[in-house]
Amino acid sequence: MEELIKCERLAFSYENADVIKDLSFTVCEGDYLCIVGENGSGKSTLTKGLLGLKAPDSGTITFGEGLKRNEIGYLPQQTPAQKDFPASVFEVVLSGRLNSRGLRPFYSKNDKMTAHDNIRKLGIEDLMRRSYRDLSGGQQQRVLLARALCAGRKLIFLDEPVTGLDPIVTEEMYRLIEELNKKDKITVVMVSHDIVSAVKYATHILHLNYEKSFFGTAEEYIKSPLGQYFFSDAV
């Protein structure tokens, strides 16, 4: 499988304190990678590094020939101000095409077709003309996922996509992401606190731990000392 992202011996610090050290892992085409770890383990710092918002202190992040950094679809954690954004669902989804628009002042016909396609894929056609801020939390997350798909042809990066959702909507969201990965062959990288669901749905786990991080398949993670320690507490 084609390597989309290869990280070798990464080190990051935050406010002069080491957060991540000597971290190596790969994301291949078709993977569903969940990044887990305790608060302060470096999940947010690594996210910024992968998105090009923070340079590593040492080590390298290499993107495969078939992937550019600005082609990664990103679903961020929402702030209260973002939840109250006064735009239509279609406008929010279409904004995922901004990076690919280049110097063109307007969205192209292809941009709009891509937005419509992803709105249909996420089953939110009936919401298309509604105001984003009037939607439920679960509906807003579907809209943001459609937006991420507009930006990411091959890979989407999801930062805690089920935070604040009720259990039923959370399970629907997980199943939707799994379908995008398996049916549509979209590579998924997800930051999560939910270790049980990470093991259930992901193909690979990256557990950040300052002393010794883990990277491998979900099956390998369950059998690892780190996985056994945290997974047994979570179930």
212, 64 in Cβ contact below 8 A? no
Percent of the chain scored above 70 by pLDDT? Answer: 94
pLDDT of residue 18: 86
Predicted TM-score (pTM) of the model is 0.91
Altogether, the residues listed in the chain come to a count of: 235
208 Cβ contact partners less than 8 Å away, ≥ 6 residues apart: 20, 23, 35, 36, 37, 41, 42, 43, 46
pLDDT digits (tens, 9 = 90+) for 96-131: 988 766 656 788 899 999 999 999 999 999 999 999
Among candidate residues 100, 180, 192, the one with its CA nearest the CA of residue 145: 180
pLDDT of residue 102: 61
pLDDT of residue 169: 93
pLDDT of residue 88: 94
**Cα–Cα distance between 93 and 200 in angstroms, integer?**
29
Half-sphere exposure of 10 (CA within 13 A, CB side): 28
**Cα–Cα distance between 58 and 41 in angstroms, integer?**
18
Q: How far apart are the first and last CA of the chain?
A: 32
**Cα–Cα distance between 93 and 151 in angstroms, integer?**
9
Q: Which residue matches tokens 């996210």?
A: 47
At residue 168, what are phi and psi to the nearest 5 degrees? -65, -45
Q: What is the dihedral of CA 130, 133, 32, 166, to 10 degrees?
A: -110
At residue 154, what are phi and psi to the nearest 5 degrees? -115, -35
114, 90 in Cβ contact below 8 A? no
Among candidate residues 158, 199, 216, the one with its CA nearest the CA of residue 26: 216
State the DSSP code for 132: G
pLDDT digits (tens, 9 = 90+) for 169-199: 999 999 999 999 999 999 999 999 888 999 9
Ranges of residues in the chain with a pLDDT under 70 are: 79-81, 100-104, 231-235
